[in-house]
């Protein structure tokens, strides 16, 4: 049997009526932007106060002034971005067989399919992509993969006018969108399971520091310097972070590659393979612990030389 015969054809859903929302983590991202913006704002205010009260040289005052402008400028950008992100997170997109309605916090926009002049798709490898809908009045609306099940928009448009978007384009974008949806769902699960993250990124380094401190104490060489203890803890924490970041990338790459292959063979099956995901994630968590202790052991051996 040939590959063409084995491959299941994608069947777009007709008469779609769906309400789409942006992923919950988008709202969390807005809080991060606001928090970091507030931190930079306080640094800027602190720099202003320091500049006004310190007995500094002219060159030092110029440097402080530049730092103040940078901190306050970045904080303003982050506050603006947080407002836009929060607005986007509260936007609903209603898809019907005839049009799309954007229900924003402060206004409603209706996009009738008969007014669409073209549809363009953009892809960013391993990161995502977006849909660009260009209207006959020269206006344009963009829908990123951060919008859950954004491929419904393409399917509905294709059912209305197949010439606006090809089935091949829909399948390609749909794979990107579904993989993005799955990644978003896993991130939400990780955030809900914060105790596991705390154990690996905080508990593991602290436990190692306590063990090392105990061994030194038993040998009659206690670590009396608090600064040294803090530096060692930070180093172990950084080791755990680097290992975790690399394992996360490898895990997501493996899981995403698996779902992409499955969607190529059966584009109608968008469900997550929870058993496979659990197997890969648990393996990565065990590898994290093993690699962390190997890295710490290698560090001690290198210091002893």
155-195 pLDDT, tens digit per residue, is: 999 899 989 988 888 888 888 888 888 888 898 888 888 78
- What's the pLDDT at 283? 96
- What's the pLDDT at 56? 74
Q: How confident is the model at residue 226 (pLDDT cuts 50, 70, 90)?
A: low
The pTM assigned to this predicted structure is: 0.69
- What's the pLDDT at 1? 42
Q: What is the pLDDT of residues 62-85, one digit of tens each?
A: 887 888 888 899 999 999 999 988
Angle at 265 between CA 264 and CA 267, to 5 degrees: 65
Instruction: Name the maximum alpha-carbon separation found in the chain.
Output: 84
Q: What is the mean pLDDT of the chain?
A: 84
Contact in structure between 84 and 11 (CB atoms under 8 Å): no
- What's the pLDDT at 96? 94
* Better-predicted residue by pLDDT, 52 or 222: 52
Please name the CATH architecture into which domain 18-187 falls: Roll (2.30)
Identify the helix (H) or strand (E) that includes residue 143: strand 140-144
**CB crowding 193-226: b at 16 or more within 10 Å, else e:** eeeeeeebeeebbeebbeebeeeeeeeeeeeeee
Helix, strand, coil percentages (3-state) for the chain, rounded to 5, are: 65, 15, 20
Contact in structure between 286 and 200 (CB atoms under 8 Å): no
Contact in structure between 153 and 92 (CB atoms under 8 Å): no
- Give the CA distances from residue 298 to residues 7, 212, 228, 294, 301, in Å, rounded to whole numbers and listed in that order: 49, 14, 19, 6, 5
Q: Any idea where the domains of the chain sit in the sequence?
A: 18-187, 193-304
* Better-predicted residue by pLDDT, 3 or 144: 144
| CA proximity to 212, closest of 198, 190, 197, 231 | 231
- What's the pLDDT at 114? 94
- What's the pLDDT at 6? 58
């Amino acid at each position: 049997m040939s590959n063409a015969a084995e491959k299941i054809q994608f069947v777009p859903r007709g008469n779609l009526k769906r309400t789409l929302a942006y992923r919950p983590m988008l709202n969390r991202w807005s809080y991060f932007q606001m928090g970091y913006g507030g931190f930079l704002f306080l640094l800027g205010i602190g720099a202003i106060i320091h500049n006004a009260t310190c007995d500094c040289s002219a060159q030092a005052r110029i440097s402080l002034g530049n730092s103040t402008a940078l901190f306050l400028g970045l904080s303003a950008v982050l506050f603006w971005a947080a407002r836009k992100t929060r607005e986007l997170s509260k936007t609903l997109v209603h898809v019907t067989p005839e049009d799309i309605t954007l229900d924003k916090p402060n206004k409603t926009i209706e996009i009738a399919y008969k007014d669409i002049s073209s549809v363009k798709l953009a892809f960013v490898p391993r990161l995502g992509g977006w849909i660009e809908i260009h209207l006959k009045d020269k206006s344009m609306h963009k829908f990123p993969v951060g919008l859950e099940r954004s491929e419904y928009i393409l399917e509905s448009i294709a059912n209305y006018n197949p010439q606006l978007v090809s089935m091949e384009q829909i399948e390609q974008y749909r794979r990107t969108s579904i993989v993005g949806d799955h990644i978003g769902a896993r991130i939400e699960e990780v955030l809900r399971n914060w105790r596991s993250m705390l154990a690996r990124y905080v508990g593991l380094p602290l436990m190692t520091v306590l063990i090392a401190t105990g061994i030194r104490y038993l040998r009659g060489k206690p670590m009396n310097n608090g600064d040294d203890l803090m530096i060692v803890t930070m180093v172990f924490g950084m080791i755990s972070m680097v290992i975790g970041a690399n394992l996360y990338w490898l895990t997501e790459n493996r899981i995403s590659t698996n779902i992409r292959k499955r969607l190529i063979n059966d584009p109608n099956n968008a469900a997550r393979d929870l058993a496979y995901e659990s197997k890969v994630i648990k393996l990565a968590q065990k590898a994290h612990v093993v690699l962390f202790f190997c890295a710490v052991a290698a560090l001690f051996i290198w210091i002893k030389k």
